[in-house]
Structure 1
Amino acid sequence: MQQSQSKQQVGGILGFIERIGNKIPDITILFISAFILVCVVSAVLAQIHFNYVHPATGRPIEITNMLSGKALVDLMSKMVTNYANFPPLSMVIVATLGIGIADGSGYINTGLKKILSITPKVLITPVVILVGMLSHLGPDSGYVIIIPIAAYMFYAVGKHPLAGIAASFAGIAGAFAANYTPSAIDPVIQGFTQSAAQIIDPGYQVNVLCNYFYAFASTFIVIGACWWVTEKITNPWLWKACPLDDDLDLGNENNSSITPSENRAFKIATAVLLLMLTGLAAALYPADSILRAPDGVIASFKAPIMQSIVSLIFIFAALVGLVYGIACGKFKSPKDVTAAMEEITKTLVQLIVFYFFAAQFLYAFGASNMGA
């Protein structure tokens, strides 16, 4: 009886979380709301005198009314440049084009399948979460490949398939804040961080990998938390709430199989990737390397290697994808390569839309002096 009540409480909590989550507005609406809020609050605070001095300029800080005629005219005149100069916009597009070649060739999918195929049963949950996190390298890979395979693998080892879907989705979602490898997400985060830093120092430049160590450390928390929730809450509750038929058919497990040509192409492409990484490491090794900053520091923003992170993501991903695609026969003509890049840009539509409003919000927040 006690166990039944406990399961009902868990079900009620999960239902409550679902209802609240479904009421959260779209990210674009959130930024539009934030922009309007900044304008309204600035109009109110502009009527108040604050005895604060800007730490960089030494001048008194006065709140600018963003609803005044002059501020609105300035906003309209800078609206396009605010968007065009929004740091993450161009960087994300460039990195994504290279990733599109690797994803369109099938290299990323094959790599993820290989990881899942060698996973011991006892580690199936954390590995599914981990692979979901890694799938951010190819935006469609997690949803198209990982989620259905995770459902089948969970069912094959006696777990509820919906728990596999939930665990893999949690990993994919967790990748936006926690991951082991740099990706197109890093320029997005760096753009917001740099804009915030420039409120205090307009000339301050932030390394594109400024959040990497935070993201790396967060992976352990994300995997541990999702693993515990899956095993202790989601999987037991699903068996009670969504019992399965004995003759359940999840489809052919061959969806996760790798053909001999794909396997051969994967080995060749991975060898090329390792060769490029080795070459990059060798180029960075000398203290006077042209990829280092003038003082010899690698991690400095002035170091060419740090200013080239997005370009390196594009080049590495594109070359590996080209080698794999040609070796396995996926890329038969240059049109196939450009089609892969064009296809992945569809995943950027939401970003391109909300970036416009995010750029206006950041401009208004900075111009109002509320941040300072």
Structure 2
Amino acid sequence: MPHPKNPLPEKGRETVDIAAESFLRQMIEAEHFSGVVMIARNGQVLHRRAYGPVSEHFKNRVAGRFHVASIAKQFTAAAIMQLIETGMVQLDGRINKFLPEPHRSAIWETVSVQHLLSHTSGIPDYAVTRDYYDVVDGWAFGKTIDGMIREAMTLPLNFEPGTQFRYCNLGYTLLGEIIETQTGLRYADYIKQALLDPMGMGHSQIHDERYIPTLDDAIGLRWDDQLGCHVRDDVASLPVTPADGGLVITLDDFARWVTVYKFMEHPKLSTASLERMLAQAAPSDTYRWPERDMRGQGFYGLGLMRSGDLIMHEGSIVGFRSFFLYSRDDDLLIAVFSNNTHNDVFHITSGLFRIYSRSAE
């Protein structure tokens, strides 16, 4: 259900603003943009529209579901904060205490839960190709995840935990293991029960081995210059696991989620936990986001990128690119979910931000 303080407009209805439409038409011309975009301020949608194909034969719809990759990390972080509130996990607790026994490593003795959440663990990320990988359309489950973790268990840390920021998808895979071990539930089931359902996000789910695509789900595409059209993406990239990038969501459901940051309220998460997610948790450096200091020096919290009042994150997997930005000062949400891997979603989002931020008025 929408937050009672911030009702959303009718589901599935397109809303067009001339300034956004003009800019996005340029992105279609320049990048063959395909996907959905929402711009909302003060709880009112200014622009919400779908562009390009959902598959080889059908067009995207604003009510369609998109894989948003690492935008999912904030949901994993929120789930961990819930477990911290119940006492099942401690933020500064060592991960070996909470992981299943087969996935505990002596090398990780000084790695804490916070280190995983803030990408400061020093644990090496998983590689693109390995003999044990069984990856279909970029997705990794079961024995493949076990292989990823077991490989990392034998590798030296890249740096002393807490001293550097280096993005690590595997850290969030391990957080998913912690959630399952401590709750006795599948990661997807816990996220649904603890985070999605209480917010009325009934059109969202986690892509795991039980996931079955629906007709509302966009297909991951890329632009083929030689053919002059969008085709299914088949370019190898880092495989994705449910806890580090498995969220499938609609624009409207995501807008519901962002009200959590506006009001600092969630039915099953305290304000203190939300504030902790938004606070700086990693050294400020330019390892991954050197150009994103849009309102002050960028930094990483727990599952979220920050810059001044801005809350952000990006996502990138086979067939999909995503970026969202929420300005707390402007109460401005910009969400760009693309099913064309050739799209520069940060460029698109930041371009729209320049148009709609208060500083642009």
Q: Do they superpose with TM above 0.5?
A: no
TM-score, structure 2 normalization? 0.28
Question: Relative to total residues, which structure has the larger helix share, 1 or 2?
Answer: 1
TM-score, structure 1 normalization? 0.27
